[in-house]
Amino acid sequence: MDLGLDGKAAIVTGGSRGIGRATALGLAAEGCGVAICGRGSDDIDRALVDLRQVSNRAWGQVADVTSSADVNSFVDGAVRELGGIDALVCNVGGFSGGETLDATDEDWMATLDMNLMHAVRTIRATVPHMKSRDHASIVIVSSISGWKPGPRAQYGAAKAAEIFLASSLAWDLAADHIRVNTICPGSIYFATSGWADYERDDPEGYARFLKNELPEGRLGTDFEVAEVITFLCSERSRWINGAMVPVDGGQSRPSGRWFN
């Protein structure tokens, strides 16, 4: 299926590794120019080498997405390099602090900043550039932790807030022909993921988690998630708006460390 992304331009935050990198490669393979940001210059450089083997329209910049100045600089640079923005993927995530009752106020605020507020900042900077396009799409990468219980409630609460943000913005931006959806991955395996660490450090616990919580007995991959994101960025999904799309293989609970 031709997704109609050839000649379009997309931004992927956290695009230097994992799901973000896989998404950037998927968009580039469809003919889309791609701008990525990340915290480390080495990771950005490595990702750009891979991207430029697929597309001659790839650009990246080191940016701290908890800084409005960095986000604005990155978005402005992407518009300059790519000539506009048709799609935005808000992919940065993570958490601060330990278990829920041990997490400090600062841990909660840092986790909300990294997840929810990073998406707010990037969307706020990007939307003015999208309004001039015929059709634009925003995809926020949330998590099944946004509605399935797990440890570290500060992370789940931030991911739930992303889901609400997308559904609300879908109404706010519909008149400008900008769609907003949330994708909710389950546990996703890639070489530098925490799940790879879990498999190495506790192979028996990891095996029990796969058996107990994943119907197919395996984790998803970053590229399986990226394929869904790429579709949601395209005009082929133009009647999907305000949706929460799980990509979890039917996973029952989000953490092997708590329930296993």
> What is the number of structural domains in the chain?
1
φ and ψ at residue 147, rounded to 5 degrees? -145, -5
Residue 229 inside a domain? The answer is yes
Q: Which residues contact 73 (CB under 8 A, 6 or more apart)?
A: 61, 63
Q: What is the reported pLDDT for 151? A: 83
Alpha helices per DSSP H over 4-89 = 18-29, 41-51, 68-82
Q: What is the reported pLDDT for 149? A: 86
Residue 256 inside a domain? The answer is no
The 10s digit of each residue's pLDDT in 192-246 is: 778 888 899 999 999 999 999 999 999 999 999 999 999 999 999 999 999 999 9
Query: CA 12, CA 19: separation in Å to the nearest integer?
Result: 10
Q: What is the reported pLDDT for 252? A: 87
What DSSP element (H or E) covers 232? helix 222-233
The single residue listed with the structure tokens 């900077």 is 125
The pTM of this model reads 0.95
The residues annotated with a catalytic role in the active site are 155
Q: Is the dihedral of CA 199, 203, 208, 211 positive or negative?
A: positive
Percentage of the chain beyond pLDDT 90 is 87
Residue 136 structure tokens? 């634009």
CATH number of the domain that 13 lies in? 3.40.50.720
Write down the mean pLDDT value for the chain.
94
Question: Buried b vs exposed e over 203-216: b needs ≥16 C-beta within 10 Å?
Answer: eeebeebbeebbee
Q: What is the reported pLDDT for 256? A: 61
Query: CA 108, CA 152: separation in Å to the nearest integer?
Result: 10
Query: CA 214, CA 239: separation in Å to the nearest integer?
Result: 30
Structural domain boundaries enclosing 164: 9-249
Return averaged pLDDT per consecutive 10 residues of the chain, 260 residues in all: 94 96 98 96 96 96 97 98 98 92 96 98 98 96 92 94 98 98 94 85 91 94 97 97 97 72
The single residue listed with the structure tokens 């990073």 is 118
Residue 112 inside a domain? The answer is yes
113-118 own/partner pairs: CB under 8 Å, 24+ apart: 113/66, 114/65, 114/66, 114/158, 115/155, 115/158, 115/159, 115/161, 115/162, 116/158, 116/161, 116/162, 116/165, 117/66, 118/13, 118/65, 118/66, 118/71, 118/90, 118/92
Residue 15 inside a domain? The answer is yes
Q: What is the reported pLDDT for 258? A: 58
Residue 260 inside a domain? The answer is no
Q: What is the reported pLDDT for 259? A: 58
Q: What is the reported pLDDT for 191? A: 80
Query: CA 103, CA 101: separation in Å to the nearest integer?
Result: 6
Residue 94 inside a domain? The answer is yes
Query: CA 32, CA 172: separation in Å to the nearest integer?
Result: 26
Q: What is the reported pLDDT for 260? A: 56
Residue 257 inside a domain? The answer is no
Residue 61 inside a domain? The answer is yes
